[in-house]
């Protein structure tokens, strides 16, 4: 379709370029200055668009899509403070290494710094969390090759950093007819593409070939080796890690975000958060070597356990150059494709594990799982039991999204998917509670799986307007909100020793429920106060094939004690 004016031509050209770079999804927030970009995206046959009023939610939606697919996903917005609302999601995408594109409209140069309405300095507004470029307003002097070269430079690093493309436009912004040299500009763009090869998936630097030789002797000498499967994005996960654990006879600790818990075999341990700090088991579980894949584990207790091993060979294998080692434990880092590296290791190694050591981990994990089943074999519904039963209720082929604060921690402690294919997502890059629902909706759209979202009341209140996204979602999101009428995680933190300040300044106590919010956005609503009601509500929600809200009311005051009771029971029943 021929663009009616040069603004729309430029917007179409940018969209064509981004599609060649692998972009397929754009969330779009309404605005006048961004009209050329909005129309170009909505009319492009290779792009799926989703209209979202709130720019913050729109950017988080794109984060969810990118987290599910690994392909660049973007948010389009107008000029002014709209752009500032993109910052939280940009920080999350940067920390998570997600390919996010922020495509913003801006006023032309002559309207900058002169008091023009809805105009702020947008150049570099996202700071170090995005690679930015500003494209001047198109006109007679526009050099198409310069524009495409500029886009190519910033997009080269999309796998490591979000990209902010700030495009200035003069009037006319609507698709009105206006004379411009369409044929000449089209020829320039075609000539540039003919001379430039675009690689939508840049190859990662891989130094595994020269590094494997260095760690093989260490692995062969190890008799108490431990594999850590930390958080990993769904599209980066390697099933070969489990085969490596079996090959070596090493236990493998699987974070709830590792994408490994639903897989079979692999000496997988999932309930470790409940027993790694058991006093009588410290010696039995201590390692003499650690192979760590993925990000920083969710469990604070397990991270403390790892910190006790400082000084032993600690090999981190990852496909990027960023440091994710707050405990400074790494003795060697291998930058490589994880799958290729693991396959190479398997080819060079024979079993070298200590059967007693592996047995200690598997025995503790099996006993913890048995205790949990017994502890939750009743109709009582609290935060730990909710996480346990939700983990059992999710069907294979579905997805789970976890909010930060308590939901991801409870899932890490109490969920095991038992050989079911469950894709798990969480905004764990910056670990904020903003934009969680929007991210979950994007995650569902990206993976095409019915998605359960486990979220706290404050996080849902923080993103309440995203209920509009859920209500219109073609892939349903079942929102399970744990409502303890405040920030329950603070009861687990040192501030809890100061109850007056805790209640006044931290827990944000409220008396709100979400039934009327569900009605406002046309969502079905269920309330569960027992396990029986939870199961029935989940079944009803799944049968509707539409998004819904399920609310679980819990008591903050008893929640800490319930966690401690379960942990103590597990540790008391470990074999002597």
8 A C-beta contact, residue 128 and residue 160 = no
pTM (predicted TM-score)? 0.95
Quote the CATH superfamily of domain 6-195. Answer: Thiamin diphosphate (ThDP)-binding fold, Pyr/PP domains (3.40.50.970)
Q: Is the pLDDT of residue 279 over 50?
A: yes
Q: What is the mean pLDDT of residues 276-304?
A: 95
- 3 state SS for 366-396: HHHHHHHHHHCCCCECCHHHHHHHHHHHCCC
Over 50: is that where the pLDDT of 21 sits?
yes
Architecture of domain 208-362: 3-Layer(aba) Sandwich (3.40)
- The answer to whether residue 100 scores a pLDDT higher than 50 is yes
As to burial, measured by CB atoms within 10 angstroms (0-12 exposed, 13-18 middle, 19+ buried), residue 74 is buried
Instruction: Calculate the alpha carbon distances from 254 to 4, 88, 236, 413, 417 in Å.
Output: 55, 29, 15, 11, 11
The token duo for 459 is: 């996080």
Separation between Cα atoms, residue 537 and residue 166, nearest integer Å: 46
d(CA 350, CA 108): 65
pLDDT over 70 at 201, yes or no: no
Give the confidence band of 503 by pLDDT, cuts at 50, 70, 90: confident
- Is the model's pLDDT at 295 over the cut of 70? yes
Confidence of residue 203 (pLDDT cuts 50, 70, 90): very low
CB 574: neighbour CB atoms within 10 A?
Answer: 18
Query: Cα(548)–Cα(452) distance, rounded to whole angstroms?
Result: 10
The domain spans of the chain are: 6-195, 208-362, 376-572
- In the chain, the percentage of residues whose pLDDT exceeds 70 is 98
Domain 376-572 part of CATH 3.40.50.970: yes
Q: Residue 397: which pLDDT band, with cuts at 50, 70 and 90? A: very high
Supply the DSSP symbol for 530.
Answer: B
The size of the chain, in residues, is 576
For residues 67 and 439, the answer to whether their CB atoms sit within 8 Å is yes
CA dist., res. 370 & res. 499, Å (int): 35
User: How distant is the alpha carbon of residue 522 from its chain centre?
Assistant: 27
Q: In degrees rounded to 5, what are phi and psi of residue 74? A: -135, 165
At 509 the pLDDT is 76
User: How high is the pLDDT of residue 557?
Assistant: 79
How high does pLDDT run on average in the chain?
A: 94
| pLDDT exceeds 50 at position 161 | yes
**Res 379 pLDDT > 50:** yes
**Mean pLDDT of the 568-575 span:** 94
Taking the CB of residue 539, how many other CB atoms lie within 10 A of it? 10
Contacts of 7 (CB under 8 A, 6+ apart): 36, 138, 169, 170, 172, 173
How much of the chain, in percent, has pLDDT values that exceed 90? Answer: 84
Q: Do domains 6-195 and 208-362 have the same CATH topology?
A: yes
Residue 205 has pLDDT above 90, yes or no: no
Q: What is the pLDDT of residues 303-359, one digit of tens each?
A: 999 999 999 999 999 999 999 999 999 999 999 889 989 999 999 888 776 789 999
| Cβ-Cβ contacts under 8 Å for 166 (sequence gap 6 or more) | 83, 104, 106, 122, 123, 132, 133, 134, 135
**What is residue 21's three-state secondary structure?**
coil
Q: 3-state secondary structure string, 378-443?
A: CCECCHHHHHHHHHHHCCCCCEEEECCCHHHHHHHHHCCCCCCCCEEEECCCCCCCCCHHHHHHHH
């Amino acid at each position: 379709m021929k663009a009616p004016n040069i603004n729309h031509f430029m917007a179409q050209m940018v969209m064509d370029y981004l599609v060649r770079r692998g972009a397929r999804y754009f969330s779009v927030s309404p605005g006048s200055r961004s009209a050329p970009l909005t129309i170009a995206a909505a009319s492009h046959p290779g792009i799926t668009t989703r209209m979202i009023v709130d720019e913050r939610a729109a950017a988080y939606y794109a984060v969810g899509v990118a987290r599910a697919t690994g392909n660049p996903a973007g948010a389009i917005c107008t000029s002014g403070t709209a752009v500032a609302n993109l910052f939280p999601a940009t920080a999350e995408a940067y920390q998570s290494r997600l390919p996010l594109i922020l495509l913003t409209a801006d006023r032309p140069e002559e309207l900058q710094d002169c008091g023009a309405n809805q105009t702020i300095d947008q150049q570099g507004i996202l700071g170090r969390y995005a690679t930015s470029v500003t494209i001047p307003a198109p006109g007679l002097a526009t050099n198409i090759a310069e524009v495409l070269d500029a886009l190519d430079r910033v997009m080269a690093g999309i796998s490591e950093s979000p990209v902010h493309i700030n495009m200035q436009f003069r009037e006319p912004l609507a698709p009105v007819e206006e004379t411009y040299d369409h044929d000449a500009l089209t020829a320039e763009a075609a000539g540039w593409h003919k001379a430039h090869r675009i690689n939508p998936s840049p190859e990662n630097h891989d130094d595994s070939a020269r590094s494997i030789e260095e760690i093989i002797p260490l692995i062969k000498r190890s008799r108490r080796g431990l594999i850590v499967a930390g958080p990993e994005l769904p599209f980066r996960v390697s099933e070969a890690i489990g085969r490596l654990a079996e090959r070596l006879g090493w236990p493998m600790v699987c974070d709830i975000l590792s994408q490994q818990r639903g897989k079979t075999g692999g000496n997988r341990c999932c309930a470790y958060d409940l027993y790694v700090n058991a006093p009588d088991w410290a010696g039995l579980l201590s390692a003499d070597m650690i192979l760590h894949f993925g990000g920083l584990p969710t469990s604070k207790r397990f991270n403390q356990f790892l910190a006790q091993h400082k000084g032993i060979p600690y090999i981190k294998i990852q496909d990027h150059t960023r440091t994710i080692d707050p405990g400074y434990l790494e003795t060697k880092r291998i930058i490589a494709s994880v799958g290729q590296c693991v396959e190479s290791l398997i080819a060079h190694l024979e079993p070298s594990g200590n059967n007693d050591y592996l047995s200690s981990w598997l025995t503790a994990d099996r006993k913890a799982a048995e205790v949990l089943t017994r502890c939750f074999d009743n109709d009582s519904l609290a935060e730990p039991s909710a996480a346990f039963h939700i983990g059992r209720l999710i069907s294979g082929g579905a997805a789970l999204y976890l909010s930060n604060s308590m939901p991801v921690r409870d899932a890490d402690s109490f969920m095991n998917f038992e050989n079911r294919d469950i894709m798990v997502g969480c905004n764990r890059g910056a670990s904020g509670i903003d934009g969680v629902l929007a991210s979950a909706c994007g995650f569902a759209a990206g993976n095409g799986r019915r998605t359960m979202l486990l979220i706290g009341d404050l996080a849902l209140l923080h993103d309440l307007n995203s209920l509009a996204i859920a209500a219109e979602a073609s892939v349903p999101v079942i929102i399970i909100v744990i409502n303890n009428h405040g920030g329950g995680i603070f009861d687990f933190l040192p501030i809890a020793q100061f109850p007056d300040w805790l209640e006044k300044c931290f827990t944000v106590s409220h008396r709100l429920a979400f039934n009327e919010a569900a009605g406002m956005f046309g969502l079905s609503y269920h309330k569960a106060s027992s396990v029986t009601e939870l199961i029935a509500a989940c079944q009803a929600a799944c049968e509707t094939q539409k998004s819904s809200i399920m609310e679980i009311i819990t008591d903050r005051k008893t929640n800490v004690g319930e966690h401690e009771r379960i942990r103590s029971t597990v540790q008391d029943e470990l074999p002597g």
